[in-house]
Amino acid sequence: MNYTYLNVFYTVAKLQNISKAAAELGVTQPAVSRIIANIEREHNTKLFLRSKTGVTLTREGIQLFEMIKNPLIELEKISDNIASKRELGDVVIHIGATSTALYCYLFKSLENIKKEFPNVNFRIYSNSSANLLNMVSKGILDFAFITTPFNGGNDLEVYKISKLNDILIAPISMKNEIKSPLSFKSLAKHPFILLSKDMQYRQFIDDFLAKHSIHINPVYETDSSAILPPFVELGYGLTFIPDEMAKKSIEEGKCYKVDIFEKLPNRYIAFVIKKDKNYSNIIYEIKQAVLKENK
């Protein structure tokens, strides 16, 4: 598979949308679709699942993405840095963010950061906390916004910048069946959609339930918090989610909050950057602006 094919696959996987990938690559949507079809045919495997809203990676697609993403991010950084030197001081900053950090913090704060630093262009990469920590440690990312709790990161500076409020939500179709407050014993009687076992938020939820001798075997698992509310809206089951990510679904009457007898422990969005890094002036200034905004 040549670089062009790899770059097309990587861009579609990163944006989860063929039209957006075509726009970023400067080619037509049919051309992108044709290249993806050629890759799938060449390797006799399905890499993406299509839907009305975009595409998601299959298991084989995830494996390929994990293999190629770091080298391609490095190439993208080199290309961006060369281009930025041509553009009279424009700078490219590479940011990582979990899906929760994107929805609950970065979407709202990035506009303010951009206003304060108009000559900065941002490349944003969404991944799990564990992978983002590794990418910051290796210098692939300049900094990242992740969610607590997490493991590792001894070579990183970590600053808690925004509190999360996790809640339990259920489909509106279950409102007559599931009443608030819900006892812990009855939790396991209902269907759940949760993150995959290797995701740290899933481990956080499992640890919380284990304190009350509760074990939940979810009917569906996913690798992205952003996918949880749509699954609940469709009536597949209950889930734990930050209230900010469920706000729209609740307001539209597609799901509702279910009270439980004990509140989940506090979690936070954290800003992480490598310790003892020889920061450029602009990265240092952005770091100070983020921390100042969230004092």
pLDDT at 111 over 50: yes
Give residue 88's pLDDT: 38
Per-residue model confidence (pLDDT) at position 230? 92
Structure tokens at 290: 């983020």
Q: Is 283 helix (H, G, I), strand (E, B) or coil?
A: helix
- Please, what is the average pLDDT of the chain? 86
Q: What whole-number distance in Å separates Cα of residue 182 and Cα of residue 217?
A: 18
What tens digit of pLDDT does each residue of 1-60 get?
Answer: 566 788 888 889 888 899 888 888 888 888 889 889 888 888 888 989 888 778 888 888
**What confidence score (pLDDT) does residue 204 get?**
93
pLDDT one-digit tens code per residue, 115-164: 888 888 888 888 888 889 989 988 889 999 999 888 777 889 999 999 99
Contact (Cβ atoms closer than 8 angstroms) between residue 125 and residue 96: yes
User: What percent of the chain lies above the pLDDT cut of 70?
Assistant: 92
Alpha-carbon distances, residue 277 vs 71, 188, 267, 282 (angstroms): 21, 47, 27, 13
CB 193 within 8 A of CB 217: no
pLDDT at 87 over 90: no
The model's pLDDT over 258-268, given as tens digits with 9 standing for 90+, comes to 998 888 889 99
Distances (CA, A) of 152 to 74, 121, 126, 129, 132: 23, 29, 19, 10, 11
Average pLDDT, stretch 189-204?
A: 91
When pLDDT is averaged across residues 99-108 and rounded to a whole number, the result is 89
For residue 231, pLDDT beyond 80 = yes
Quote the pLDDT of residue 226: 86
Measured distance CA(179)–CA(166) in Å, rounded: 18
Confidence of residue 80 (pLDDT cuts 50, 70, 90): low
Confidence grade of residue 83 (pLDDT, cut at 50, 70, 90): low
Does the predicted TM-score (pTM) go above 0.75?
Answer: no
Please state whether beta strands 255-258 and 193-195 pair in parallel, antiparallel, or not at all (unpaired).
Answer: unpaired
193: left (phi over 0), alpha (psi -120 to 50) or beta: beta
